[in-house]
Amino acid sequence: MSVNNRASQQKNKKEINRSIAIVASKFNSSISEIELDACVNTLLNLGVPKKKIFSFYVPGALEIALVLKNLASSKRFDGLIALGAVIRGETFHFEIVAMESAFSISRVALEFNIPVANGILTVENKDQALDRAEKKGSDCALVVMEMINLLQPIQEYSDGSVICGKNS
């Protein structure tokens, strides 16, 4: 399903009672701020009330997973979003940060059984990041809401009677 179809399907819904936490990196903040604005605007357009959207800032991409883990363990949120940008430099540091942050974010989702959208851009240069930031922020909002809606019926019917999100 295309991003536009998902957005139009979810846009027609009334206000939804979901709590979303967003963790954004302060490193490369010019990028993460664009992502954050797009993400919040999309969540609002999808019906998430402003009072249910919480933003947290961390020094860099490697610190995001720890905050996500604490937010997930609080059980106060229906979904989590990670935002930031890792831009390739002249050393191997790019690969370490890119891979470790992605792995750690995925671990939080699996360990705590909560949707986590990974919006950490891994790019060659700042221009690439700027070109992608707005769309990535918006896409993360769409992804986290879609995953919340997909997982809810599965989690509600723990007896195994749910197939593809529908009661059989």
pLDDT, one tens digit per residue, over 33-57 is 999 999 999 999 999 999 999 999 9
Task: State pTM to two decimals.
Answer: 0.85
Q: Rounded mean pLDDT of the chain?
A: 90
Residues 121/133, Cβ–Cβ less than 8 Å: yes
- What pLDDT does residue 79 have? 98
| Residues catalogued as catalytic | 93
Domain carrying residue 68: 15-167
Higher pLDDT, 166 or 80: 80
- What pLDDT does residue 159 have? 53
pLDDT in tens, 130-161: 999 999 999 999 999 999 999 988 887 765 55
| 7 belongs to a structural domain | no
Domain harbouring 75, CATH code: 3.40.50.960
Residues 6+ apart with CB under 8 A from 141: 20, 38, 39, 40, 42, 43, 46, 81, 117
Decide: helix, strand or coil at residue 119. Answer: strand
Domain count, the chain: 1
Which of these ranges, 5-9, 27-31, 56-60, 97-101, has the smallest mean pLDDT?
5-9
| 9 belongs to a structural domain | no
Residues 162/154, Cβ–Cβ less than 8 Å: yes
Higher pLDDT, 161 or 100: 100
Residues 6+ apart with CB under 8 A from 102: 118, 120, 122
| 2 belongs to a structural domain | no
Report the distance separating Cα 124 and Cα 89, nearest Å.
Answer: 8
| 1 belongs to a structural domain | no
